[in-house]
Amino acid sequence: MLFNSFIFLFAFLPAALLIHWLVERFKPEWRLPVLLGLSLFFYGYWDWRFAPLLVASVVVNWLVAESFTRTGRDILIPLAIVANLLVLALFKYNNFFADVAGFVPGLTIPRYDFALPLGISFFTFHHIMYLTDLKAGKAPRYDLVRYGLYIAFFPQVLAGPLVRWSEIMHQLDERPYQRPDAEERFARGLMLLVAGLAKKVFLGDQLADYTNPIYAAAEAGQALDMGQALQGALGFTFQVYFDFSGYTDMALGLGLMFGIVLPQNFDVPYRATSLQDFWRRWHMTLSRFLRDYLYIALGGSRKGLALQLAALTATMALGGLWHGAGWTFLVWGALHGIGLSVAVLWRKAGYTMPSIVGWFLTFTFFVLTLTIFRSGSFEVAGNFYAALFGFGAEGFTMKWRALAIGAAISMIGPTAWTFIHKLPPRPWIAALFAILFVVVLFKIGDDANYEFIYFQF
């Protein structure tokens, strides 16, 4: 049930909103259990076989938290975190580890072709955040329904944003439709949903048509010319932004419609003037998770420069591997760790750089490394790099219109969240968004409806 599908927009969402409003109006004590039930139904609609895994994950982790709260046994939390990571590894990384084991003489790991449960990376990290903070004395105890809703809330369960318990739990006990700004919040949430749909359908999917044939040709061994390679590399750079930020806009909008403010995930990242600045703007909730729960745990900047650089590289490499079970993801992450390490050395040496140069180098670095991320193999990436640096086929064949539009919108900004929250409440603005929604629906009906890229992560 994609957010950009008719069954979601005309069946599940209206029914869920009506049920939620009725319960909030007449039986507010039922609101959270009903919202949890709707979220589990939404998740199970994809494949009912995955729903028991999500339910079991919630119940087991909650029981561990309950036991820790009662007994204070510190060992329970590390064991639970390891168990969560083992489940994630079994479903997502088993075959990757089996391939790695093949390089060691005499060591074999059996291969299993498990279907990857949607959202498992995201809800696993949610468990880790809560359990870590519970052990540190930062997080309180929650009942099963509230904890389950924190993990499974349907706007964010499949592809984020990664939400800390402290960002959402205090909102669950509010009466969202009793707030003085309830109508405005709902309206702005609906506008965010429409804006995210438009970004996905008109920009992300259009750029997919620019990008996918180029990568398919490269995978087939066809030599690319420089224009084709630029089209593919830049096309995916803008496609993944509009696809994922569009999903995030929809998630944030849906959250507002159900009375929950979710954290923003993008802040015009293609305007970043350094790699550090970029990762403060791109997939912001993942960046904060990696910083607070991995980089700092590995020592951060507290134990000397050498350990700091090692922690940066390891953190980003693991962040790359989080995106997928493959060497290309690992190398992509490691390259960003190395890039961040070089930036640390640059700053410590006291060097500076003009903003425009920093922007150019940061954007170029991201485009070039993202080619590895998208390629799926080093052979395909090598095909792209050969063409990009003038060693491919002769000629220069390139479609550029969608790239120019994508570049302008992604770099000039502002974010959809900022733009929509600055709009005054005017009837003509509502009418324009209604027209945009209708146009989006016609586009969804006419064209291929691409799945969101980050659903595979």
- Choice among 20, 127, 283, 323 that is catalytic: 323
* Start-to-end C-alpha separation, the chain: 17
Angle between helices 31-46 and 13-26 (to 10 degrees): 160
Dihedral sign for Cα 144, 147, 152, 158, please: negative
Distance CA 2, CA 8 (A): 7
Determine which helix (DSSP H) or strand (DSSP E) holds 51, and give its type and residue range: helix 51-71
Token pair recorded at residue 3: 């957010």
The CB-based long-range contact list for 281-286 (8 Å cut-off, 24+ gap) reads 283/160, 283/244, 284/161, 285/160, 285/161, 285/162, 285/163, 286/160, 286/162, 286/319, 286/322
Q: Please, are residues 3 and 247 in contact by the beta-carbon 8 Å criterion?
A: yes
Distance CA 228, CA 8 (A): 36
Question: What does the angle CA 348 – CA 353 – CA 356 come to, to the nearest 5 degrees?
Answer: 145
Other Cβ atoms less than 10 A from the Cβ of 447: the count is: 12
Q: Please, are residues 384 and 233 in contact by the beta-carbon 8 Å criterion?
A: yes
Question: What does the angle CA 139 – CA 141 – CA 146 come to, to the nearest 5 degrees?
Answer: 105
**Nearest CA-CA partner of 370 in 385, 390, 356:** 385
Distance CA 390, CA 396 (A): 10
Distance CA 60, CA 63 (A): 5
Which backbone phi and psi does 242 adopt, to 5 degrees? -70, -35
Distance CA 154, CA 254 (A): 9
Annotation marks residue 20 as catalytic = no
Distance CA 248, CA 122 (A): 14
Catalytic residues, which ones?
323
